[in-house]
């Protein structure tokens, strides 16, 4: 089904929902996703899958009571009637929710980037050509290649009985490669909504260069090191910032490590961050799950915490302007910045490495998670290439280490920020458009044994 057909289908179904809802306020959230994935390992494609899925979440509301039901995209009138009847029953028998707000009416939205027909139509043969490039380069170095090429197209809409209508289409292509042998591996990954953003040839060369040098890594003592972080490693840190640093609800409930610091200098003056769904590199959604327009928000400027992101409820409680970052109702998480952009500096990756007398180059982190909230202490492991830097040169590979370090401390010890941004995905959710950076005295708490 084409984009316009999905859109027309949603208009028809949403109107039926509003008619059946009667004197209940009604909201419909439409989501469909067509995705296809080619997976390879040991220099062989071993999986090709394609999935079309999605559904419609129906939410009814009367006063401060709400009830929801989910249905499929292709449903009969009888199924829809039963779903509405059940949702009404839930509303009538539920307790009042004091955080529940009235549904919004008609809104105006800015246009975003986000849809590439070439990515939406990418077929198995075309994905296989990308895989073949990775395998050919790996085999020429006696390496085994593993990874994925995945393309997807998403249609999303929100409509309600008060006149709201919002619609968005987006595409995404992800290429990930792990290559190497028994003595060490290399890794690189790209994602983006457009072919113009992704350069899989560069990723292949990068992963192979890492694997070539990552042979027979040496043991190293844990401790504090100056680290050169790639964009992928920085992105892991920023993912947790979006949830615990910029989320207004975390501040309201005094659970953020930045509570009470709005307007204060809390990070290095080298750090400037914004949330911008309209940046050309993002397939940003121009509205949130309440249907409100998503705003570009300057979060940190030269180390000063300038703003937070708000949903309607937190904005009302904190007497602030809603920034259009709400999640689906009912929502206890607050607002999350999903389109983080960290401003680049003026230093290339090579220049950053040359500036380090002794330190570590980190390819990326793995299984990063929160160990303590008051300073947002994270813990995780390095992976697919950790290298000792001596006198401005990459000297030799070392075995992976576990890190345990406060984000507040780390982002106050930035020695330099790279001049080239890359769109990277977070391990659990979200991601960032970010350059690499140098952080001094980054704490590694233990070895990993591999």
Mean pLDDT within 278-298? 96
For the cut 70, the answer to whether the pLDDT of residue 428 exceeds it is no
- Calculate the alpha carbon distances from 281 to 36, 37, 197, 246, 274 in Å: 22, 22, 7, 21, 14
> What local confidence, expressed as pLDDT, does residue 102 receive?
94
Q: Is 275 helix (H, G, I), strand (E, B) or coil?
A: strand
Mean pLDDT within 213-218? 94
> What local confidence, expressed as pLDDT, does residue 429 receive?
67
Angle formed at CA 346 by CA 411 and CA 229, multiple of 5 degrees: 45
Cis before 330? omega within 30: yes
Q: Yes or no: say if 364 and 424 are a contact pair by the CB < 8 Å rule.
A: no
The pLDDT-based confidence of 151 (bands split at 50, 70, 90) is: very high
Burial letters 285-295, b for 16+ CB under 10 A, else e: bbbbbbbbbbb
Q: How far is CA 301 from the centre of its chain?
A: 21
Tokens matching residue 142: 């006696």
At a CB cut-off of 8 Å and minimum separation 6, what does 380 contact?
A: 236, 365, 366, 367, 368, 369, 402, 403
Angle formed at CA 187 by CA 370 and CA 33, multiple of 5 degrees: 70
For the cut 70, the answer to whether the pLDDT of residue 124 exceeds it is yes
Percent of the chain with pLDDT over 90: 90
> What local confidence, expressed as pLDDT, does residue 437 receive?
98
> What local confidence, expressed as pLDDT, does residue 75 receive?
83
Mean pLDDT within 292-311? 98
Percent of the chain with pLDDT over 70: 99
> What local confidence, expressed as pLDDT, does residue 4 receive?
84
* Residue 248, CB-side half-sphere exposure with 13 Å CA sphere: 26
d(CA 129, CA 289): 38
> What local confidence, expressed as pLDDT, does residue 427 receive?
64
For the cut 90, the answer to whether the pLDDT of residue 394 exceeds it is yes
DSSP-based helix, strand, coil % in the chain, nearest 5: 25, 40, 35
The pLDDT-based confidence of 31 (bands split at 50, 70, 90) is: very high
Give the tens place of pLDDT for each residue, 76-101.
Answer: 899 999 999 999 999 999 999 999 99
Tokens matching residue 418: 């790279």
Mean pLDDT within 226-246? 95
Element counts in the chain: helices (H) and strands (E): 10, 19
**Chain mean pLDDT for the chain:** 95
Give the tens place of pLDDT for each residue, 397-410.
Answer: 999 999 999 999 99
The pLDDT-based confidence of 449 (bands split at 50, 70, 90) is: confident
Q: How far is CA 174 from the centre of its chain?
A: 13
Set out the domains of the chain in order of their start, with CATH numbers. Answer: 3-201 (3.30.2290.10), 217-450 (no CATH)
Tokens matching residue 3: 């984009």
Mean pLDDT within 267-274? 98
Sheet holding 44-62: strands in order across?
A: 65-71, 44-62, 25-41, 144-160, 165-181, 184-192
- Calculate the alpha carbon distances from 141 to 135, 375, 382, 424, 444 in Å: 10, 44, 24, 27, 32
> What local confidence, expressed as pLDDT, does residue 431 receive?
80
- Select from 46, 36, 218 the least CA-distant residue to 144: 46
């Amino acid at each position: 089904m084409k984009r316009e057909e999905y859109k027309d289908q949603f208009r028809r179904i949403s109107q039926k929902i509003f008619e059946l809802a009667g004197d209940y306020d009604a909201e419909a959230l439409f989501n469909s996703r067509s995705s296809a994935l080619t997976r390879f390992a040991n220099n062989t494609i071993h999986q090709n899958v394609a999935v079309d899925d999605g559904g419609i979440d129906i939410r009814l509301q009367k006063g401060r009571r709400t009830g929801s039901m989910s249905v499929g995209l292709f449903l009969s009138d009888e199924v829809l009637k039963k779903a509405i009847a059940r949702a009404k029953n839930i509303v009538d028998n539920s307790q009042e929710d004091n955080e529940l707000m009235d549904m919004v009416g008609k809104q105006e939205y800015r246009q975003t980037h986000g849809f590439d027909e070439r990515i939406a139509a990418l077929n198995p043969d075309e994905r296989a050509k990308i895989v073949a490039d990775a395998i050919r380069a790996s085999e020429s170095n006696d390496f085994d290649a593993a990874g994925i090429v995945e393309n997807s197209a998403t249609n999303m809409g929100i409509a309600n009985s008060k006149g709201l209508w919002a619609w968005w289409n987006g595409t995404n292509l992800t290429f990930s490669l792990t290559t190497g042998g028994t003595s060490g591996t290399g890794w690189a990954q790209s994602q983006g909504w457009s072919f113009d953003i992704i350069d899989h040839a560069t990723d292949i060369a990068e992963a192979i260069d890492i694997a070539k040098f990552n042979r027979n890594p040496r043991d190293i003592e844990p401790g504090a090191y100056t680290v050169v972080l790639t964009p992928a490693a920085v992105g892991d840190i920023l993912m947790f910032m979006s949830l615990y640093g910029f989320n207004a609800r975390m501040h309201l409930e005094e659970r953020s490590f930045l509570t009470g610091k709005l307007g204060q200098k809390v990070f290095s003056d080298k750090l400037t961050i914004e949330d911008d769904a309209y940046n050309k590199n993002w397939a940003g959604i121009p509205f949130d799950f309440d249907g409100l327009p998503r705003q570009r928000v300057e979060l940190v400027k030269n180390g000063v915490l300038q703003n937070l992101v708000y949903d309607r409820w937190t904005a009302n409680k904190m007497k602030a302007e809603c920034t259009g970052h709400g999640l689906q109702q009912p929502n206890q998480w607050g607002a999350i910045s999903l389109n983080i952009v960290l401003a680049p500096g003026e230093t290339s990756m090579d220049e950053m490495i040359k500036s380090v007398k002794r330190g570590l180059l980190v390819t990326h982190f793995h299984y990063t998670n929160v160990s303590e909230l008051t300073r947002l202490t994270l813990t995780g492991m390095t992976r697919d290439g950790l290298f000792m830097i001596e006198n401005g040169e990459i000297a030799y590979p070392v075995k992976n280490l576990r890190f345990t370090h406060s984000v507040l401390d780390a982002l106050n010890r930035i020695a330099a920020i790279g001049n080239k941004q890359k769109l990277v995905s977070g391990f659990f959710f979200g991601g960032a458009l970010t350059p690499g950076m140098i952080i001094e005295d980054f704490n590694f708490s233990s070895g990993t044994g591999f």
